[in-house]
Amino acid sequence: MIKEKKITETIGLAPGTLVHVGEEPLRPVTITLIEYDKDNYRQKEIKSIDECFPISDTSMKKWINVTGVHNLEIIESIGKHLNLHPLILEDIVNTEQRPRIEDFEDYLYVTLKMLTYDEKDEEIDLEKLSIILGKNYVITFEEKAANVLDIIVNRLKSGNTKARIRKSDYLAYSLLDVVVDNYFALLDKLNQLIEHLEDDLVENPTSEVLMDIYELKRELLFLRKSVLPLREIIGSLCRVKTSLIEESTLFYLEDVYDHVRQIMDTVDIYKETISSMMDTYLSSISIKLNDVMKLLTIFASIFIPLTFITGVYGMNFSHMPELEWNFGYYITWIFMLLISVGMLVYFRKKKWF
């Protein structure tokens, strides 16, 4: 369900060399420029990144969203315009980088993993989102067009929300908030899977169930690996002393931070749940084995003595008095029945059936 990409491709390259690390892109890079203030909202797809600069030419707040990070010229051009640190640029194009936050004097760089559950393909979609927050602009870089961000676009368009009035830091917060909210959807999905497996756990412990439990564990570990640095980042975002984030936005960020911690708590609970499932599964397999063996033992214990008796009277000794008895055959049957009934009573007492 999840595919992690190789991170070895950059080994040996000088730091700061721009190399796109990630899956080959399928779509061309699109750049969307959104300008907004309390009363106005303008959105257009632009061809050349240079149209956006200088970034503070108007009094409107700007949001530049770059979809696709494999076009290195665009990234480099933005880097030059805003005087970004070379490692930041390298980080943007490397989609494997660990989430991080960097606090520069005139901008703040945050990179996140966006996890979304793709209902259609039944897959977890992992995508990197890089955010540069400046005085009155936000630049976002996403690997491919994720409809996650559309939510925010619509909110800005609709016009009556705080998002239009407040500064750019509120937009950055909104982005984080939406990313974090998507983790909850994933958790719900995993919860469904867990509940689904629980039904089969004791009743029907097949090897498919086993494989599903294992899969689930893997996905949970993957999720945890993504959330862990997220918590760290948003945590340090709450503590960072920067003029770029206003006091009032900090409060909202703390709310997001609480959400991330709630996600971590839930992931940990799920992890322990799945461990218990594995133990329960193993026990339940053992119970099944016990049942199988009990059945075998009941059959064997009843018929093996009986077969022995028939064997005795199937012997060809010339002198076997019982064989001559008139009721020998019937007596044998009665004897055998008694044995069977005795065994059955014994096993019944043992509660074997």
Residue 225 sits in the site that holds a copy of itself (CB under 8 A): yes
Minimum CB distance to a copy of itself, residue 7 (Å):
5
Residue 288 sits in the site that holds a copy of itself (CB under 8 A): yes
Residue 157 sits in the site that holds a copy of itself (CB under 8 A): no
Q: Which distant-in-sequence residues (6+ apart) come within 8 Å of 237 by Cβ?
A: 101, 110, 176, 245, 253, 257
Q: Give the count of residues interacting with a copy of itself (CB under 8 A).
A: 112
**What type of residue is 332?**
T
Minimum CB distance to a copy of itself, residue 33 (Å):
22
Q: Which distant-in-sequence residues (6+ apart) come within 8 Å of 56 by Cβ?
A: 135, 136, 137
d(CA 210, CA 207): 5
**What type of residue is 38?**
K
Q: Of 37, 53, 81, 100, which lies in the binding site for a copy of itself, with binding defined by CB under 8 A?
A: 100
Minimum CB distance to a copy of itself, residue 261 (Å):
7
Which string of b and e fits 37-71 if b means at least 16 CB within 10 Å? eeeebeeeeeeebeebeebeeeebbbbbbbbbbbb
Q: Segment 242-281, which members bind a copy of itself (CB under 8 A)?
A: 251-252, 255, 258-259, 261-262, 265-266, 269, 272-273, 276-281
Choose one: 57-65, 91-99, 136-144, 236-244; the region binding a copy of itself (CB under 8 A): 91-99
Whole-angstrom Cα Rg for the chain:
34
Residue linked to tokens 């990070």: 69
Q: Of 307, 337, 342, 353, which lies in the binding site for a copy of itself, with binding defined by CB under 8 A?
A: 307
CA distances in angstroms from 351 to 288, 319, 345, 346, listed in the order given: 15, 44, 10, 9
Other CB atoms within a 10 A radius of the CB of residue 8 amount to 9
Q: Of 229, 235, 240, 344, which lies in the binding site for a copy of itself, with binding defined by CB under 8 A?
A: 229
Mark residues 114-153: x for contact with a copy of itself by CB under 8 A, - for none. -------------------------------------x--
Residue 163 sits in the site that holds a copy of itself (CB under 8 A): yes
Residue 83 sits in the site that holds a copy of itself (CB under 8 A): no
Choose one: 44-52, 132-140, 184-192, 238-246; the region binding a copy of itself (CB under 8 A): 184-192
Is 68 or 205 the residue whose CB approaches a copy of itself more closely? 205
Task: With H, G, I as helix, E, B as strand and everything else as coil, classify residue 298.
Answer: helix
Residue linked to tokens 């862990």: 228
Residue 316 sits in the site that holds a copy of itself (CB under 8 A): yes
Task: With H, G, I as helix, E, B as strand and everything else as coil, classify residue 127.
Answer: strand
d(CA 1, CA 186): 13
Minimum CB distance to a copy of itself, residue 319 (Å):
6
Residue 338 sits in the site that holds a copy of itself (CB under 8 A): no
In contact, 29 and 68? CB cutoff 8 Å: yes
Residue 107 sits in the site that holds a copy of itself (CB under 8 A): no
